[in-house]
Structure 1
C-alpha cells in the first residue's frame, strides 16, 4: 500500500486497491510509446481487460488556496498530461441549487453548452456535502451523504487532468449497481465492473450492434448515471458537457471520465429513492413533453414502400386483420428524390389518402431530415430571409469544387455535404440567435402542411449525419440510386486542432484510429465548422444538433397544427425529452436486438425520454415469424410502438403471418384497453418528472434480485411485464419481488401468484406474462381499433387489493391533443380512487381532485381480484342512494375470487366531487 492510499484509509475509513488509469487508450500501444509518456508498461494476463500502459500515481493537482466554496488548484509535480499542456491553475467551485450539489472544475470563460435547463429542484430528506483531503502533492475531494456518511463520489483514485482538449476525472463508486450513460447498446441493465470497459459518447449515425458486446457510440449523448448504494439509497450524477467524451467503468468499482472540451461541470442528485432521483434530475433538465393521446397508438412504417399504393395495401391488410392501428408513418420514399417538403409522383393522391385516414381516426407522421439541397426552392427561401447554416470558419476552407456547383451557395461559407438527395446539401443552424433560421424552418413545415396535413413529425439524420466524409470512395458511389457527388473533406491532413485533437476519444479509437479513416468527423460534418456567426465551434456543439432541431420542430408543429402532436428524434441530449421522443435506432432483426431494446427503453426513461421504443421486428435484415411475433408482444408495452423495416427486405407488418396477426391483435387490444393507465403515467411523467417504463429496482431498491432484471420492467408502480425474449421459448423464467401479485395474462388470470423466482407458460397464442401489483386500482377502457374510438367507451377499473383488502389509483384525462403550456392552467381531470374491502362488504371512493371541462365517459365496469366472498348485488349504494346492478352481466366466482360488476352508466364521474359506491356481502 503506498502512502496515498494509507492516508486515504486513515482519513476516510476505506482501503482500496486502485484500478489502472489508462495512459494509452489509442490503438497500437507498446512499451516504447508508453514509457515515452512517462507511464508504466506492465502486461497482465487477467481477463478484466486492464490496460498494459497506465499512469503512475500522483496525477493531479494540489490545493493552492481556498476562498469559501472556491478552491484554487495548482498543477502538482506528478506525471504530466500526454495530450496537451496542463493548465497550471484551475478552480473547483461548489454550490447548492436546492437539493442539487454542483461541483464545477475548470476555468471561467471556457465553452459551456448553450442548453437552457430549467434548473428547478425538488426537496430531499437527504443532503450531499463536499469534502476535501490531500496528501503531500495530491488534492482530492469526495461527495458524502449526510445521513450515512457514505462517499458517493470519491476522487482519491487520482487522475485529475485538465488541459485545453483533454479533461479527465476519476472516482470510486459506492457500489457496482450503476445504470445509465448513453447512447450505447447495453446488453445488461446494470453496468459490469468486473472488467475495464470504455463507452464512447459522440452523436453519430451509427446503428446499434447487439449481437455481441459492442461499446461504440450511437446517436445521442447522455452523460448521466444513477447508482444504488448498498443500503438501497439512490443518487444520480450528471456531467454537463457536450464535447466528444467517454467513460471507462473499471473494478473498484470505479469510473474514469474523459472529455475533450469545456469544463467538468458535475451535478449530484441526492434521491434517496430511484424515483426521487429521476424527479430531481428532470426538474433540473426539464420534464418530458406530454404526447398526444393518439401518439400512444400503434404505428406502421417502413423504408422502401414502392409508392402510395403499397402503403395503402399494408395498412389495409393490418386493418382487415382487426389489429388496432392509429398511425401511418412515411419514410423518405414519399419525397421527390429525398428532398424535404416535397412529394414524388408515385405518391400522387397522398393528401386524399391522409384525409381518408383521418376519417378512420388515423394519423400521419412523415419523416423530415435536416439537410436541404443547395439548389432547391426551400434553400432559396432560406437565403432570402437570411437563415443560417453550419459553415466554414473562413472562406479559405471552403471546398471550391463543390461550392462552385451551386450559385445560391457560391458566395457563402456554407459547408456542403451529402445525404439522401441527389445533390449537395446544407445543414440548418438551429443555434442561430437571430431566430431567422427557426422562422424559416417553421415556414417550410407550415407550407408543406398546407399540402399534406400531417399530425406529428419524425426527425432523422440529425447527429447530423453526412455520407462519405473524408472518404475517397464513399459507399454511395456504388449505389445506383445516388449520384457520385464529391464527398466532404475536412482538414485532417495537418494538425488542425478541431479535426485532429491530440486525444480523440473512444468514438475514434474504437474504429481503429485515423489509419483506418476514423475521425471525429466521420459520418458527420467537419468539426472545424462554426455556428451562429462563429459564436460556436461545431467541435463543441455537434452533440446538441438533434436537441436544437427538436426544440424548434416541436414549436413549429404546435404552431402549424394548433395541437401538441408528437415529435420523434434520432439524436438526443439531456433535456431532449421536453421536446421529442426517441426510437432506439436502426436495429437488426435478431433476438439480441429484441433483448437490448427492452433495456434501452428503461435507460431512456432514466434519461427523461419516456416516449421511447424500438423498431419492432427489427429494421435491418430479414425478420421471421417467431421473432416478429415476440417483438410485437413486447413492443405493445413501450410508449413509442412502431413496426419498421428497411429497403429491400420483405414486408414484416403483422398481417404478413396469420399467427403474428393474431398475437398482435391480442397484444394491441390489451394495450388499448390499458391506455388510460399508460396515458396517466405519461401525464405524471410530464407533470411531476416520473418514469413510465421503469426498471423493477425502482420499486424495490432493497431487493438485490431486482438490480439486474434487464429483461423485465414495470409500467409505473403497478404492472410488471416479463416479455419473451429468447427463440423457441414457450415458458418464461422471471422474478416477482416480495409483494402481492396477480396474473393479468392467460395463465391463472386474476389469481394471486407467489412471489420469488417462478416459471410460467408463455405460448405464442396468449399474452406475454403480465402481473398487477396488490394495492393497485388501474383505469382502463374497452378497446377498439383506434385510440379515438376507444376513448369514447365507458371507463373500467381493475382493482387488485393488497393483503389488507385496500387499493388506490389515479386517472388523468384531458382532450388528448390540447397544447400544455402549464399544468396549472391546463384543462384536465384528476380522479383518485380508493378501495377498501372487509369481510362484511366493500367501498370504492372516487375523488375528483381536479375538475376539467372535458366530457368524461361513465364508469361501467369494475373488476376486483381476490374478493373474499359473494356480494349482495341488491345492497349497492351510490352516495347513499340505492343503485340497480345488472345481475345478468355481473358475476362472482368463488373459485377465482373475482368480482365483476358491469352496469351501463353505473357511475357518472362528474356527478359529485366525491363519489362512494359501497355494498355488503351475502350473509353467511
Structure 2
C-alpha cells in the first residue's frame, strides 16, 4: 500500500528549505577526503614553484602519505610545459637523465610569484594555473581558445609506493590515442578501459593486456568546442600528455576522465601544445629523442621462422624466393642457430661456421642481408666463454646478495645489468667477436622485458606493493615471470623502479655496439621498449596469432608506435602462432607489404608460410611488394622526415585531415606519409572493401586512374580482387618512384619516375631524400645527402602543366647521375586525350615519348585526364623546369 501524498503547502516549504541548503552547501569550500593545500607559491617569468601540504585522510591501507610536496611548473619551450610534483624533503626515483636527457627544473625560486598562481607567456599557447579551493588542483589550458586540456581533481594522493591523480576530460569532444603497449581492438581509446604499464612477456595475440613496452603518452584530438566558446571553434586541435615515469602503473580512461595509479617515482608531466597532430609528435620527439635513421635495406622484405632446421633450410628459402620472383631483402635466424640456445654461439651440427659463413657471404654478394636473434640471459656454464668473461666483469643483476638466477631458453641464466657501464662494454665486445665469425647486418634483441620462465618468490615489500596493478589482466604480482622487483641494479637501483627500462637499455647498448663495430648505421629490433626507444631501435608487435583479428589489430599497434616515436614498426606477417590459411596469408602480405618494417615470421611447429608456398599468396606478394619496392624512394624520404621531425611513417588519417571528425575513429586504413592511403581487406571471403576517402581527389596507385573525387569525404565500396590491395594517392602529392626489383640495392640503381597527382586546385608537391642508406648520420657535417623538392601546377586553364624541382641540398654525388625518365601527370582538367603535346625542359623543347591515357575516372567520379611523359633524362640532383603543353 502506497504512502499518502504530502499537502501542497508542506511540499513547497520542503523544496524551499532544500534549495536553501543546497546553495549554502555549494557556497562553502568544503574539504575533501585527502589531497593537499597550497602553502606557498613563488616563481619567475617562465617558472613557478609551489609547496603543498598534506590535508589528511587518504587510503591508509596503501601506506602513509608524503606530508610535504614540491611542485614546479615551467614553460620549457613555447610549445612544451613541464609540471613536476615530488616529495619536498626526500629524493625519489626518477627516469635517469642519461635515458631521457632533459632540462632540470630550477628549484631556487623564492620570490613571490608575479601574477599569483598562473603561468603564461605571450609566446606560448599553454597556460598553467594552480587552484586552491576546495584544495590543490591544477589546470592546463590553451590560451588562444580557452580550451581546458588537463584539469585535475582535488584528491591528489602521494605516498611512497602509490601515487594517484585524475584529470577530467570533455567526453563529447576528446578523442584519445596512445598509452601502450597493448593489443587493442580499436586505435581510438575506448572509455572504461584500463591500460597497465609493466613490461611483460605476454603474447600479443592477447587483447587488452600489458605487453612488452611502456609508453605513458597520449594524444588528444578535440572536435569543435561548443558554439560561443572563445575563438578557435574548428575541429582538429591536438595536444599531447606524457607522464615520464618508469614505475608500474594503471591508467584508467573513463571517457570523461583519465586517472593515473602509479606505484612509485614522481608525477612528472609534460604537455605538448600542438595544435596539429604532426606538431604534437614533433614536440614530443624533440623531448624524448628523434627516431634513429634506419638503413635503406631495412625497408625491404624480411623472412624469418623459429624452426629453420639448418643452413640448407635457409638456402632453400632464399632459392624459393628467387625462383618465385618475390623480393627478399633479409634472411633472419631465430634461436635455432645457437649452440644450446647460448648467445654468441653456433650450433656445431646444424649451423656450423664453415657452412653459415659462406651462406652469409653469398647473401651479401647478392645485395641481401642477414640478421640473428639475441636474448639477454647468459647461460650459467663454466665452459661458456661469454659467461666466463661476464663473470670476470661482474656485470649481472644482483638479488639477495648474489647474482640473480633465472631460467630461460638455455636453462639457468644470469642477466646483464645494462645500467652498469661495464655491461654495455662487455656486450659490445661479445658482439664484435661474434661478427668476426658471422658478419651479421643487424641484431634482434628479444625476451628483454625481462622474460623469465620461473616466478621469483615475494621476498620483501617491493615484490608485492600495497597496490597491485592489473598485471596480466588478473592483478598478478609484478614478479610474475620476470626478475624480482627487489633485485638490485648498478648504483643500488631497485628493479622495482628500473624494470620498464631494461629493453631500452639493452637496445641502446646493442645500437652502440653495432655502430662501433661496423661504422655503419645500426639496425636493431627490440621487443621491449620505453619512452625514447626509437632513438635506438625498431620494434615489431610481438607474438601475434595467425587470425583475422590479429591482422586487423596490427594496424592499431602500428599507428600507436608512430605516436611513440618508433616509426619502424610492423607485425609478423601471416601470424606467428597457430596455423595460417592461404587466404589469410594472402591478405596479410597485402597489408604487411606496407608496414614500415615488413617481415614474415612464424613459430616452430606451425605450418610453413614462406610467401612462395601458395600460388595465390605468391601473386599477392609480387603485386604488393612490387608496389612497395617502387615506393622505396618515397618511404625512405619518410624515414628522413621521421628522423628530423618525429613524423610517423604510417599515420592515421586524421594526421592529414585533422578537421574531418569522421577520420578520428578510422583504424582499418592508414596513410603512408601525408598522401598514400592503404585500404586492406581484413575479413575472410571479402571481394570488396569499404574505405573512407577524405575530401579531395584520390587516384589508384596501380592503375593511375581517378578512383574518388569528393568535396566532403565519403565512404566508397571498392572491388578487392584476391591478389590486390587498394592503394591510392591523394591529389596534391608528387611521389618519386623507382623500378621494382628483388632487392633494394637493384631498385636504387634504376631510373626514377615522378607521379604527379594534381589536386583540386591544380597543384601538387613532394620531396625526395637521397643518401648512401648506411652512413651513421642522415644529415650532418660528415654525411653526404641530397634533398629535392618537387612542385607541379596547371596553367592556362589546364592546357599547360609545369613540374619544377628545387635542390635544397646536394652533397650525395650519385644524385647527379640518377635520372628521372618519366613523369606521369594525373588529374588533367580535360578527360579527352590531347591531340598533341609539346614538352620543354628549362625552356628548350625536347623530343619526349608522350602518351595520353584514357579518361582517368568515370562519369560518377568526374573523369580527368592522364598523360605519361617518357623519354626524359632529368638529373635528380639538378634543378629543372618541365613544361608540358597540350592541344585539344
TM-score, shorter chain, exceeding 0.5: yes
Provide the rounded CA distance (Å) in 1 between the counterparts of 2:175 and 2:271: 16
Q: In the alignment, which of 542, 555, 558 is matched to residue 499 of structure 2?
A: 542
More deviation in 276-285 or 726-735? 726-735
SS at match of 1:443: helix
Residues 1:882 and 2:845 are matched in the alignment: yes
**1:693-704 matched pairs, under 5 angstroms:** 693-704=650-661
CA pair 293-891 structure 1, distance change in 2 beyond 3 A? same
Aligned to 1:472: none
Provide the rounded CA distance (Å) in 2 between the counterparts of 1:8 and 1:701: 43
CA pair 571-895 structure 1, distance change in 2 beyond 3 A? closer
* Maintained 8 Å contact 1:81/1:161: no
SS at match of 1:732: strand
Q: CA deviation at 1:728?
A: 1.4
Q: CA deviation at 1:134?
A: 2.8
Q: In the alignment, which of 433, 437, 448 is matched to residue 447 of structure 1?
A: 433
CA pair 5-127 structure 1, distance change in 2 beyond 3 A? farther
Residues 1:298 and 2:280 are matched in the alignment: no
SS at match of 2:612: helix
Residues 1:764 and 2:722 are matched in the alignment: yes
* Maintained 8 Å contact 2:183/2:204: yes
SS at match of 1:740: strand
Aligned to 1:94: 73
Q: In the alignment, which of 614, 620, 624 is matched to residue 577 of structure 2?
A: 620
**1:325-336 matched pairs, under 5 angstroms:** 325-336=328-339
**1:437-586 matched pairs, under 5 angstroms:** 437-469=423-455, 489-492=456-459, 496-507=460-471, 510-511=473-474, 513=475, 518-534=476-492, 536-586=493-543
* Maintained 8 Å contact 1:605/1:692: yes
Q: In the alignment, which of 186, 211, 218 is matched to residue 225 of structure 1?
A: 218
CA pair 589-125 structure 1, distance change in 2 beyond 3 A? farther
Aligned to 1:244: 248
Residues 1:256 and 2:259 are matched in the alignment: yes
* Maintained 8 Å contact 2:698/2:706: no
Provide the rounded CA distance (Å) in 1 between the counterparts of 2:314 and 2:270: 47
SS at match of 1:855: helix
Provide the rounded CA distance (Å) in 2 between the counterparts of 1:5 and 1:522: 50
CA pair 233-877 structure 1, distance change in 2 beyond 3 A? same
Gaps of 5+ in 2: 1-17, 105-120, 225-235, 858-863
CA pair 5-301 structure 1, distance change in 2 beyond 3 A? farther
Q: In the alignment, which of 906, 911, 917 is matched to residue 873 of structure 2?
A: 906
Q: CA deviation at 1:837?
A: 1.4
Aligned to 2:114: none
CA pair 907-523 structure 1, distance change in 2 beyond 3 A? same
Gaps of 5+ in 1: 13-55, 396-412, 470-488
Provide the rounded CA distance (Å) in 2 between the counterparts of 1:793 and 1:236: 42
Q: CA deviation at 1:822?
A: 4.9
CA pair 868-586 structure 1, distance change in 2 beyond 3 A? same
For the aligned residue pairs, the C-alpha RMSD in angstroms reads 2.4
Residues 1:426 and 2:390 are matched in the alignment: no
CA pair 875-298 structure 1, distance change in 2 beyond 3 A? same
CA pair 698-894 structure 1, distance change in 2 beyond 3 A? closer
**1:115-194 matched pairs, under 5 angstroms:** 115-119=98-102, 126-136=124-134, 138-156=135-153, 158-174=154-170, 175-193=173-191
Q: CA deviation at 1:714?
A: 0.8
Q: In the alignment, which of 807, 812, 823 is matched to residue 862 of structure 1?
A: 823
Residues 1:739 and 2:696 are matched in the alignment: yes
- 1:222-259 CA-to-partner distances (Å, cap 9, x unmatched) read 000000123321000000000111101114x1011011
- 1:829-887 CA-to-partner distances (Å, cap 9, x unmatched) read 10110111133312111111111233031100111112235567662221122222135
CA pair 461-584 structure 1, distance change in 2 beyond 3 A? same
Q: CA deviation at 1:343?
A: 0.9
More deviation in 372-381 or 444-453? 372-381
Residues 1:893 and 2:854 are matched in the alignment: yes
TM, length-normalised to structure 2: 0.88
Q: In the alignment, which of 648, 672, 683 is matched to residue 605 of structure 2?
A: 648
Q: CA deviation at 1:447?
A: 0.7
Provide the rounded CA distance (Å) in 2 between the counterparts of 1:804 and 1:5: 60
Provide the rounded CA distance (Å) in 2 between the counterparts of 1:617 and 1:545: 29
- 1:99-119 CA-to-partner distances (Å, cap 9, x unmatched) read 211111112511111143344
Provide the rounded CA distance (Å) in 1 between the counterparts of 2:740 and 2:287: 37
Provide the rounded CA distance (Å) in 1 between the counterparts of 2:20 and 2:510: 56
Provide the rounded CA distance (Å) in 2 between the counterparts of 1:3 and 1:328: 77
Provide the rounded CA distance (Å) in 2 between the counterparts of 1:668 and 1:283: 33
* Maintained 8 Å contact 1:744/1:750: no
Aligned to 2:208: 215
Provide the rounded CA distance (Å) in 2 between the counterparts of 1:361 and 1:4: 82
More deviation in 854-863 or 662-671? 854-863
CA pair 320-57 structure 1, distance change in 2 beyond 3 A? farther
Aligned to 1:234: 238
Q: CA deviation at 1:8?
A: 13
* Maintained 8 Å contact 2:834/2:852: no
Count of residue pairs brought into register by the alignment: 814
Q: CA deviation at 1:9?
A: 9.8
